[in-house]
């Protein structure tokens, strides 16, 4: 059964493309159900983050094209629009990619830890949706254990850096100190919570938290000594914002150019530093055209990320061997499953032969035929039946010059299955 991954990430596509295929938590159940309804899709997991959308599938036959078509149609995109941005992994490469993703080796910020939690959420969502089977469940759980070990052994997660942390670092580089600045956080999800904790650790004293749900904003504000407000009070909060960081689940911008322009007038054009770490974007890109408004997106954070790459690349190289071992371990299990299925079919077929020939032999013995002759005929017939299909396949392999099959057969049957070293 083919195992494959189809994905799009910050490596292959700009934010304008990634936001078109972003999948929210509210959409997950419907999307995964539609995906599993496709022909040949047996198991599926969808991973959706601000930097990537990936579909992990196990199919009964070639289902890659159907999944790719579904990715276009489910997002209202013309067929082929994503082709130049899509990457495909199959078989062993699926396991290798997933282990790298979980370990933070494929992240925008090398070694960031948030992705592992996001993967666990995707696995849990798939479990709840009933789209997990034996293979993908084992792959993800194996990956979680491997990623934890890799992070510990390599030290790649020492001094963890995430997109949220990078946003705070960038703000600190611009303002020097954050203690005297007023920060507005829009949203109350995980990304905003991380930003809030980092800001709090940097001694920020003026913190406003805006969210559609006042209760959630109040919960976060209580932890960070901030002030909670509803999103409806955005017009009141914006003029106070020296720094604004936004990450909501809104499908369209919640902060417009008009909003920021009005805020700048009230601020007498004191600069505003705005960071949009949401996908789809929370802040209208046109804001970047305003004087005194400095807008950064996730893609812009790459400039800061590059400063961390050199020190973490050494740890990444050290992790390569651990990744290889994790992949090999899973593939041994997967091939073991496949071997067991083959052995089960062989045993069932041989058992059927045995039963049929035993019944025939008993009838001949009851009819008074020579026992030795009956047993000899039974043995010859059983041998011929068992060897018929393998013999036929080997002849076909020879005609087709399929040397892999021929070598495998030679290893299996040489000296009763023992390799003589030749």
Q: What's the sign of the alpha-carbon dihedral 175, 178, 183, 186?
A: positive
The residue with tokens 């004293």 is: 205
Which residue among the candidates 36, 50, 57, 195 is catalytic per the annotation?
A: 50
Total number of residues shown for the chain:
422
Sorted by sequence, the CB contacts under 8 Å of residue 76 that are 6+ apart come out as none
DSSP H helices, 130-178, are 134-154, 163-175
HEC readout, 193-222:
HHHHHHHHHCCCCEEEEEECCHHHHHHHHH
Cβ of 201: how many Cβ atoms within 10 Å? Answer: 10
* CA 15 to chain CA centroid, nearest Å: 18
Catalytic, 36? Answer no
- The residues facing 41 across adjacent strands are 59
- The residues facing 384 across adjacent strands are none
DSSP H helices, 245-301, are 257-266
109-130 exposure pattern, b = at least 16 Cβ within 10 A, e = fewer: bbbbbbbbebbbbbbebbeebe
CB 51 within 8 A of CB 298: yes
- C-alpha pair distances (Å), 194 with each of 141, 189, 199: 25, 9, 9
Q: Which residues are catalytic?
A: 50
């Amino acid at each position: 059964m083919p195992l494959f991954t189809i994905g799009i990430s910050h490596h292959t596509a700009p934010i304008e493309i990634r936001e078109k295929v972003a999948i929210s938590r509210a959409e997950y159940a419907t999307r995964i159900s539609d995906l599993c309804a496709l022909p040949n899709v047996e198991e599926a997991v969808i991973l959706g983050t601000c930097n990537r959308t990936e579909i992990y599938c196990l199919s009964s036959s070639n289902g890659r094209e159907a999944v790719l078509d579904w990715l276009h149609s489910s997002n209202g995109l013309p067929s082929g629009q994503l082709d130049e941005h899509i990457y495909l992994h199959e078989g062993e490469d699926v396991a290798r990619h997933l282990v790298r993703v979980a370990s933070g080796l494929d992240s925008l910020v090398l070694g960031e830890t948030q992705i592992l939690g996001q993967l666990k959420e995707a696995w849990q969502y798939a479990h709840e949706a009933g789209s997990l089977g034996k293979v993908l469940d084992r792959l993800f759980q194996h990956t979680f254990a491997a990623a934890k070990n890799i992070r510990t052994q390599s030290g790649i997660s020492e001094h963890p850096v995430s997109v949220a942390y990078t946003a705070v670092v960038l703000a600190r580089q611009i303002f020097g100190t954050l203690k005297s600045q007023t920060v507005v956080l829009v949203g109350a999800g995980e990304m905003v919570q991380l930003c809030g904790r980092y800001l709090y650790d940097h001694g920020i004293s003026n913190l406003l938290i805006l969210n559609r749900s006042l209760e959630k904003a109040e919960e976060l504000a209580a932890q960070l000594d901030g002030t909670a407000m509803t999103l409806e009070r955005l017009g009141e909060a914006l003029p106070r914002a020296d720094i604004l960081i936004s990450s909501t689940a809104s499908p369209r911008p919640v902060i417009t150019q008009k909003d920021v322009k009005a805020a700048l007038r009230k601020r007498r054009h004191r600069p505003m530093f705005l960071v949009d770490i949401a996908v789809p974007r929370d802040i209208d890109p046109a804001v970047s055209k305003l004087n005194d408004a400095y807008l950064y997106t996730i893609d812009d954070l790459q400039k800061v990320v590059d400063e961390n790459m050199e020190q973490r690349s050494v740890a990444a190289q050290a992790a390569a061997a651990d990744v290889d071992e994790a992949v090999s371990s899973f593939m041994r299990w997967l091939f073991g499953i496949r071997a067991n299925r083959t052995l089960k079919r062989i045993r069932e077929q041989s058992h059927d032969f045995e039963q049929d020939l035993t019944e025939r032999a008993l009838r001949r013995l009851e009819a008074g035929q020579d026992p030795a002759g009956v047993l000899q005929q039974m043995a010859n017939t059983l041998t011929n039946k068992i060897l018929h299909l393998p013999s036929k396949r080997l002849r076909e392999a020879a005609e087709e010059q399929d040397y892999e099959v021929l070598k495998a057969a030679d290893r299996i049957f040489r000296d009763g299955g023992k390799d003589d070293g030749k």
